[in-house]
Amino acid sequence: MNSYRRPGLVLTDHRFTVPLDHGDPGGETIEIYAREAVAASRAGDGTLPWLLYLEGGPGFGARRFIGTEAWIGRAVREFRVLLLDQRGTGLSTPANRQTLPLRGGPREQAAYLAHFRADSIVRDCELVRHRLAGGKPWTVLGQSFGGFCAVHYLSAAPEGLEEVLITGGLPSLDGHADDVYRAAYPRIERKVAAHYARYPQDVARARAITAYLAEHRPESAGYRLTPESFQSLGIMLGGADGSHQLHHLLENAFVTGPHGTELSDAFQEAVRTANSFAGHPLYAVMHEAIYGQGDRPTAWSAERIRAEFPQFDAAAALAGEGPVLFTGESVHPWHFEVDPALRPLRETAGLLAARTDWPALYDMERLAANDVPVAAAVYHDDMYVDTGHALRTAASIRGLRTWVTSEFEHDGLRASGPRVLDRLLGLVRGESDR
């Protein structure tokens, strides 16, 4: 183990060998990486309980903290924190366009990635808990998709849980991906309307950019800029300062050169940086698979359901006088055409979208009988997780206490400093009434 210091923290690297398929514990193995964080003043305190942090995604490694910023300063006051890089992410055994061909062709790659959902992640956590925490139950903090994993944890291994804290991550327990996106597009439209009300000058800018991309379709470092890829910048609108970031990106889009007006290199690079999946390809490849349960395929749900909302069609918007609407957290087949980090994985993603034998992720009866203390922050009109779905799930988990707030966007855990975590700890322990 390698330990080192950051302001206020002592960090220690941990690596664990786990089965690729937990149903075959003697078979192939992969490596899981996790970083332990403890307050510098309590580094030698062996009595500290563990808090496991599960990052959002899918496909993102745990956040790298420089010091005690955001929520972790509150956490290390009473916990030894484990920041887990879920399988395939961060410093865990990688799964991307460069490594997946080692598995074979697309069918072999899709079969391999079928082991990268919440059920496998939770079984990894249980092995780590026994090896690191001596089998003692621990507290789990799940952000977004990490909350989905936490709800599966409650379904599959509640004996490993002391208490559960969920931020913006209560999934629909029995909804298909179609239900998720059918609820999402009107919510996205509201976020776009709010952005244009805040920055009305961006309506004309977005139309001009979309028209330019429809005619020219430039590339930046191999990434193809199309009207659809430009629209996907709307994912920024789910964060606390995302609307402002999007506005500042749009206001410097064009430059005049010897051949007339064109998109600036700076703008094209900013769009590529914002949209590329090179650092988190599993987010695209596995995104709809996290909703798969039973024999009904996801079948590129976001793309199919988008057709029910013609106001998102960029060409139609340009043909009329309406605004070009941005989109949000949705993955489409065209992502695997415009992004060089995803192009080699297009067929693999298609096979996952066609899969019809996903195991169930949530045990409704077990959740209804839950006796693990649980508290969840539900962000009102969250762009990424539907509030209605979240509240129905909350009502299905016995004893779960909710805090519904419009003060924060989906990134409230990060943006609030210690406030969201402190509130949830108070709720889960009965120290706060609401």
Domain boundaries, the chain: 3-174+362-428, 177-354
| Per annotation, catalytic residue among 259, 295, 357, 371 | 357
Alpha helices in 291-417 (DSSP H): 301-306, 314-319, 335-338, 346-354, 364-368, 387-396, 412-415
Contacts of 186 (CB under 8 A, 6+ apart): 309
Return d(Cα 206, Cα 202) in angstroms, integer.
6
Neighbouring C-beta atoms of residue 103, cutoff 10 Å: 16
Is residue 357 annotated as a catalytic residue, yes or no? yes
Q: Averaged in consecutive runs of 10 residues, what is the pLDDT profile of the chain (434 residues)?
A: 90 98 97 97 92 97 94 97 98 98 98 98 98 96 98 98 98 96 97 98 98 94 96 96 97 93 96 96 97 96 97 96 94 97 98 97 98 98 95 98 96 94 96 68
- The verdict on whether omega for the bond into residue 58 sits within 30 degrees of 0, i.e. cis, is yes
Q: Is 144 a catalytic residue?
A: yes
Q: Give residues with Cβ within 8 angstroms of 426, minimum separation 6.
A: 432
> Out of 85, 92, 124, 144, which one is annotated catalytic?
144
Q: Could you tell me where the DSSP H helices lie in 92-143?
A: 106-113, 118-132
Q: Note the pTM of the prediction, 2 decimals.
A: 0.96
Q: Please tell us whether the domain made up of 3-174+362-428 is placed in CATH 1.10.10.60.
A: no
* Catalytically annotated residue among 220, 301, 410, 411: 410
Neighbours of 249 (CB within 10 A): 19
Between helix 177-198 and helix 201-216 the angle, nearest 10°, is 120
Question: Which of 57, 83, 275, 89 lies closest to 168, judged by CA?
Answer: 57
Whether 220 sits among the annotated catalytic residues: the reply is: no
Question: What gap in Å lies between CA 182 and CA 230, rounded to an integer?
Answer: 21
Mode of pairing for the β-strands spanning 138-143 and 80-85 = unpaired
d(CA 367, CA 359): 17
pLDDT score for 22: 98
Residues found in the chain: 434
